[in-house]
Amino acid sequence: MDSSASSAASVSSLAGAPALPRGLLRGRPGLVLLAVAVLAVPLLSPNAYVLDVAILVALNAIVCVGLNVLIGYAGQISLGHAGFFALGAYGSALLAARYHWPTTLALATATAGVALLAFVVGRPILRLKGHYLAMATLGLGVIVSIVIATEDGITGGPDGMAVPPLAIAGVALQGERVWYGIVGAALLAAVWLSTNLIASPIGRSLRALHTSELAAEVAGVDTARQKLMAFVVSAVFAAFAGGLAAFYAGFVTPAKASFLHSIELVTMVVFGGMASTFGAVVGAAVLTVLPQLLTSLRDYEMVVFGAVLMATMIFLPRGVVPTLAALWRRWRS
């Protein structure tokens, strides 16, 4: 359906534009709530397994918060973010393990490298729309994953490669508790950054272009530039989380670059609720924890996971957080 926008003045209030989260989730209170949740995990259950799962949740959530800026706000799909995640992971791993760079510098350089790559490939790719954009990003991710799996002289091929531990000022950071602190802080920083970005004029133009790219352009938004920025931001979040994941696990495998991992990331964003930063976090949390809970079902794991995913999207079509937030508002009024 074509959306209608007759004048430039109406761009910020176009019908159907994803609205800023209201009520409980507005700006800082949401961040405080998230900080409380992050702090509560080790206090309530300090065992290593729980912390390990919580670390995975936080890493996925960082990727999803970034991806949500691209998908939820700018309205541009990507089926290739596992490629950026893997490039961040392998870039960090290679610089640290093969070239013996200081690990933090390796992480920063790999992330910056991915930012540059996203900037270069982003411009031609983002000229594509809808499913064609999905295909192009998917192709990019598949190419990255094939290169990683094939160049076994550099990457270790399908067997993966070992990564030295992350060290700050010569002190190696190891153990679930320390890592939980690191990724927890990184997640809060990621959420803080993205909520600020979305509340800024940039966020407003992103939402405008989501509703109608042409209308936004007519209203004076440099849509190509805004889309590229959202793309680079999301790639940086993914690469940074990928690098952290590599150092935490001490190992990287090409599975991280797979098409299925890209799909998984998009699914988390939509499941939690598009255009909702906290939705992205909730989506990442639920879909990371669920498979862990389902491992006891063994052969039924995939069936139950698929069924839960379908049922949630049927009954909460706008994603968990926006749908429940709307119900909550209706119930209160």
Partner 1 sequence: MGAQALQFVAAGLTAGSIYALVALGFSIVFNASKVINFAQGEFVMIGGMAAASLSAAGAPLAVALPLAIVVAAAIGLLLEKLTIERAGRADVTTLIIITIGASIFLRGIAQLVWGKGIRSLPPLTGDRPIELGGVTILPQSLWVLGATLVIVAALSWFFGRTRLGHAMLATSHNRLAAQLVGIDVRLVLFASFGLAAALGAIAGVLIAPIAFTSYDAGVMLGLKGFAAAILGGLGNFHAAIVGGLVLGLLESLGAGFVSSAYKDAISFVVILAVLFVRPDGLLGVLRSERV
- Smaller CB separation from partner 1, 12 or 267: 267
Q: Calculate helix-pair angle for 130-150, 103-125, nearest 10 degrees.
A: 140
Alpha-carbon span 67 to 74, nearest angstrom: 10
CB of 327 to partner 1, least distance (A): 16
CB of 131 to partner 1, least distance (A): 6
Rg of the chain (C-alpha set): 20
- Smaller CB separation from partner 1, 111 or 212: 212
- Smaller CB separation from partner 1, 140 or 163: 140
Alpha-carbon span 96 to 146, nearest angstrom: 22
- Smaller CB separation from partner 1, 134 or 188: 134
CB of 91 to partner 1, least distance (A): 19
For residue 162, list its beta bridge partners: 251
Would you say 125 and 221 are in contact if contact means Cβ atoms under 8 Å apart?
Answer: no
CB of 261 to partner 1, least distance (A): 12
Query: What are the structure tokens assigned to 211, written together?
Result: 């509703």
CB of 144 to partner 1, least distance (A): 9
DSSP state of 171: E
- Smaller CB separation from partner 1, 34 or 77: 77
For 33-96, the DSSP string reads HHHHHHHHHHHH---HHHHHHHHHHHHHHHHHHHHHIIIIIS----S-HHHHHHHHHHHHHHHH
Q: Interface with partner 1 by CB under 8 A: which residues?
A: 2-5, 77, 124-125, 127-129, 131-132, 134-136, 138-140, 142-143, 146-147, 150, 212-215, 218, 259-260, 263, 266-267, 270-271, 274, 299-310, 313-314, 317-319
